[in-house]
Amino acid sequence: MRIGIVCPYDWDVPGGVQFHIRDLAEHLIRLGHEVSVLAPAEDESALPPYVVSAARAVAVPYNGSVARLSFGILSAARVRRWLNDGRFDILHVHEPSSPSLSMLAAWSASGPMVGTFHTSNPRSRAMIAASPILQPGLEKMSARIAVSEYARRTLVEHLGGDAVVIPNGVDVRFFADAEPDPRWRGGVLAGTGAPATIGFIGRINEPRKGLPTLLAALPRILEERPGTRLLVAGKGDREEAVEGLAPGVRAQVEFLGMVSDEEKARLLRSVDLYVAPNTGGESFGIILVEAMSAGAPVLASDLDAFRQVLDGGAAGELFPVEDADALAAAAVKLLGDPERLRDLREAASRHVRRFDWETVGADILSVYETVTDGMPPVAEDERVGWRERFGLAARD
């Protein structure tokens, strides 16, 4: 099958949607399918062979964060060229409700099309206001996928229609087989008597990732568990993040910067506890699945999406959102109870199998096969399209 996938966000700046698309593409390629991914990207030399650049991205406020997207005349022309060159059996667009390549592709194409919705935003006035613009592209879709029940609910309430829920996928074995790194390994699970380590992975200066809540909890954790180290992996201003912390507390925070996939897996295999203190805007929580796959016990804020990923709290513990005192109390209790940490790890290892790409990929392929049955390939839609939407004459 020839499969075209559209990524809305900048490929040069990794995030959950990009990782999902990358892993899906590589899973499909391993199965023998031909896959091409269209994405915003500036550094074309660093792209995998299956990714095609569609111009640079620009920063746009979106869903409580800042997304890097491509949108406009040049991007639309490149979308059309990619569609014509690809002659895909199916087109899979991600986040088609964002002002991005995905929206342009939905406007420009006809034929078998699947949309995947990642965003969870129960009160998006912008999405409601944009509904008339979005509907022509959404109506072309033969099937819709939501990565969680909360992403599905956002779609239903804001744009109408429905979607099948298929979660984000993870290569469980990749994380499970990673070797712990001695630099990051804590002593609680290892039983060595060494200080505990807590892990956090995310953009440091993005408020909804919740690092300030974790840092606010750290003094209490250190008071009860002296020597505990907080390992922070991600991009951002380190000095700004720890501003205001006492020197002794700051000394226990180790910033690792951006880490590779291999380093991330080794980090998650090494820590005694992974903490996800996110404050909102999450439709799934792929990092929780990665942590569970690696055997890291998880403590997460009680967001609806996180509760679902953690099997209602059976595969990881939850604390009230933005409650630093509750986070500290839960972390201290867990780090003092190795048996409970091992129980969480075992429960997570059973639960996480539902998110493995062998399962998730099969579900997505089933959708593809349903919508392509007896259908001609994807083609450019020659009806009123992006040119008129931009108020321009029909020309490249």
Tens-place pLDDT, residues 209-262: 999 999 999 999 999 999 999 999 999 999 999 999 999 999 999 999 999 999
Instruction: With respect to residue 142, please indicate whether it lies within any of the assigned structural domains.
Output: yes
Instruction: With respect to residue 32, please indicate whether it lies within any of the assigned structural domains.
Output: yes
Instruction: With respect to residue 395, please indicate whether it lies within any of the assigned structural domains.
Output: no
Note whether 136 and 195 are same-domain residues. no
Write out pLDDT tens, residues 157-184.
Answer: 877 789 999 999 999 999 999 999 999 9
Looking at the DSSP bridge assignments, the partners of residue 299 are 275, 317
Number of structural domains found in the chain: 2
Looking at the DSSP bridge assignments, the partners of residue 199 are 231, 274
Q: How far apart are CA 152 and CA 165, in angstroms?
A: 7
Global model pTM greater than 0.95: no
Note whether 266 and 198 are same-domain residues. yes
Q: Which two tokens stand for residue 170?
A: 């993870």
pLDDT along the chain (396 residues), means of 10: 96 88 97 97 89 84 67 88 96 91 92 92 57 73 93 85 94 96 96 96 93 98 98 95 95 96 97 97 90 98 94 97 98 98 96 96 97 91 57 43
Given a contact cutoff of 8 angstroms between Cβ atoms, the answer to whether 182 and 174 are in contact is no
What's the domain range around 343? Answer: 172-353
pLDDT of 8 reads 93
Instruction: With respect to residue 302, please indicate whether it lies within any of the assigned structural domains.
Output: yes
Helix 357-372 to helix 16-30 angle, to the nearest 10 degrees? 80
Note whether 239 and 289 are same-domain residues. yes
Note whether 135 and 184 are same-domain residues. no
Note whether 287 and 177 are same-domain residues. yes
Q: Is 288 exposed, middle or buried (0-12, 13-18, 19+ CB in 10 A)?
A: buried
Number of Cα atoms under 13 Å in the Cβ half of residue 58: 7
Write out pLDDT tens, residues 68-80.
Answer: 778 888 888 999 9
Q: How far apart are CA 356 and CA 270, in angstroms?
A: 21
CATH of the domain at 382: 3.40.50.2000
